[in-house]
Amino acid sequence: MDLSQTAQTPDPQALGLMHFLAQTDAVGGTLLAVLLLMSVITWALFINKIIAQWRTSGRSRRFLSAFTRAGDNLNDVAAALDTAEPFSRVTQRTLDAAQLVATQSPAMRDELLARSIRRAIAEESHRSESGLTVLASIGSTAPFIGLFGTVWGVYHALVSIGLSGQGTLDKVAGPVGEALIMTALGLAVAIPAVLGYNYLVRRNRTQLATLDSHAHDLQLMILTGRSLRAAA
């Protein structure tokens, strides 16, 4: 009697991720490979962005400190430029534009200089947003890929159960539960991608706001010969 009950009871150790991987077909394997690739891309992009921002922020702090010490002296500002960080690149573009429009009327010079600053900031915004579209796409599509894998797994599980003629709860719950692993994997890929995307977007917006303030301070220095601090 005990041996019969043991034979009819599914072994919990036989179910799970490894059993699901062993029983999956080509479609399920492809979906798993896609989710794995998405996860690798997500973490690689996020870590690369964090390291790049950390290095750039140090250079930016040094340049802004030199910019503050320079006061009204544009030569000292030009000497402190570091083209490996965004504030220096915007400053360089602005100084170059100031030389080109030096012979224009004050109103025209102000308009052309402001246009050059806007273009430089837009380029830095585009540079900082590179790769974020990939994170957003992964965060939005990974759950659906996992859900598709679950639907595919449930379909095959129900077909196998129907062919075997054993529709009891213990025969249905195991395969269906294993199919839900794909949904969990999809969420495990999507959640870090969404969190990483939101974090990087927030940091980029903060940096661009500071960059815009710096550009207008530089514009005031060029047009009036005085820094914002001196004017205040």
DSSP notation for 14-35 = GSSHHHHHHH--HHHHHHHHHH
Q: Total domain count for the chain? A: 1
Specify if 40 maps to a domain. yes
Q: What are the tokens at 115?
A: 């246009």
Specify if 65 maps to a domain. yes
Residue-wise pLDDT tens digits, 117-156: 889 888 888 888 888 999 999 999 999 999 988 888 787 7
Cβ within 8 Å of residue 185, ≥6 positions away: 32, 35, 146, 149
Specify if 35 maps to a domain. yes
pLDDT at 230 over 60: no
pTM reported for the whole predicted model: 0.76
Specify if 1 maps to a domain. no
Specify if 4 maps to a domain. no
Domain carrying residue 206: 28-231
Q: Which of 152, 144, 145, 138 is nearest to 20 (CA)?
A: 152
Specify if 151 maps to a domain. yes
Specify if 204 maps to a domain. yes
Cβ within 8 Å of residue 6, ≥6 positions away: none
pLDDT confidence band for 101 (50 / 70 / 90): confident
For the chain, give the number of residues. 232
